[in-house]
Amino acid sequence: MKHLISIILLTIGLIISCNLNDETIYNVFDQVDCTPPILTNIETLDSQTVLFTFNEIIDHQTVSLTCCGNSVRTKMVHNQQLTISLNKPIALAQSQAIEGSVCDIRGNSTYFSISAWAKNEQIPTLLINEFTTKGNETHPDRVELIATSRGNIAGMTLYAGTKDTWTDRIILPDRWVERGTYLVVSFTEGAVHEDLHCSELLTGLGSNNGCLTLAKTPHWNSTILDAVVWGNHSTSTYDGFGSKALKDAVQFLYNQGHWRSNSCNESVDSTNSTATRSICRDSLRDTNSSTDWYICATKAATFGSANCA
């Protein structure tokens, strides 16, 4: 009986195959692309133009977009890239929420929801110049930035952590600065004066172990401009960093060339720092290592002016 069934199925298969052209014969074991396209890059080309890059060619007929408080004037697809033109410009230090979906040429679709930040073409050179991590109500956790060239700081972003794993951040406002300008950011609640900027969450910096990262924009793929890593050199967990998040963040900075070592022992030693003994950059040295930094004397923190010994 089993042999009879096999013969019947084989005969049916032969009859079907003989009646089909070669173009309509498919191998069911062929691998078919079932993976949706992935958004790999966002770039704001000017105040009204945003470029999206995907990991594969997308079908221009499937593009669907929504812009909160704005609208898309034109859209153009070229292979893996989608370029859109907005009706209203994005103001400096502001973002445009964009939601959309696209399909690849096989119909696999993906949905995305992003914030496209305004393009700032006059970014100055900033360095992290001084910071404290053991603040109190009178002297909160603070970070000082110094401008070493003139420009507009709009959209530049300082992270407690990195752009991928941060606990707090500040997106700097639309403001022109000259060379030698000091910018002070508070990361905890406390005494505030009119020239002090405040982070979004005011959650504070890691007292003993942590890192700061300065990026060109808030975009996840933004260029990193500066970074610093500190630690007490006595923590025993996660290879001395105290958390997996910080260990991974330092590894990222090391891999990207923004910190010279991925060892906790090569971080800036924070042991003797206090709320008034700040960690200071030495004469604007920038070798991406702990040798660029020192701890000032008690009550010698100089936020908003030149560092002292």
Classify residue 125 as exposed, middle or buried by CB count within 10 Å of its CB (0-12, 13-18, 19+).
middle
* Stated pTM of the model: 0.86
pLDDT range class, residue 33, cuts 50, 70, 90: confident
Domain boundaries, the chain: 39-117, 126-295
Classify residue 122 as exposed, middle or buried by CB count within 10 Å of its CB (0-12, 13-18, 19+).
exposed
Q: Give the residues across from 67 on adjacent strands.
A: 98
For the stretch 136-184, pLDDT in tens is 989 999 999 999 999 999 999 999 999 999 999 999 999 999 999 999 9
Q: Give the residues across from 44 on adjacent strands.
A: 50
What integer pLDDT is reported at residue 66 of this predicted model?
A: 97
What integer pLDDT is reported at residue 11 of this predicted model?
A: 44
CATH architecture assigned to 126-295: Sandwich (2.60)
pLDDT range class, residue 22, cuts 50, 70, 90: very low
Question: Cα-flanking dihedrals φ and ψ of residue 110, to 5°?
Answer: -140, 150
Write the DSSP symbol of residue 24.
Answer: G
For the stretch 249-289, pLDDT in tens is 999 999 999 999 999 999 999 999 999 999 999 999 999 99
Give which of 75, 255, 12, 57 is closest to 4, Cα–Cα.
12
CATH number of 39-117: 2.60.40.1220
Domains 39-117 and 126-295 share a fold: yes
Handedness of CA 254, 131, 187, 210 (dihedral sign): positive
Whole-angstrom distance, CA of residue 166 vs CA of residue 145: 18
Q: Give the residues across from 49 on adjacent strands.
A: 46, 85
Whole-angstrom distance, CA of residue 118 vs CA of residue 250: 28
Is residue 2 within 8 A of residue 9, CB to CB? The reply is: no
- Lowest model confidence (mean pLDDT) among 13-17, 48-52, 102-106: 13-17
Residue with tokens 């979004």: 200
Q: Give the residues across from 224 on adjacent strands.
A: 215
Tokens of 170: 């500040």
Classify residue 61 as exposed, middle or buried by CB count within 10 Å of its CB (0-12, 13-18, 19+).
exposed
Give me the chain's average pLDDT, please: 91
What integer pLDDT is reported at residue 190 of this predicted model?
A: 80
Q: Which has more pLDDT, 248 or 10?
A: 248
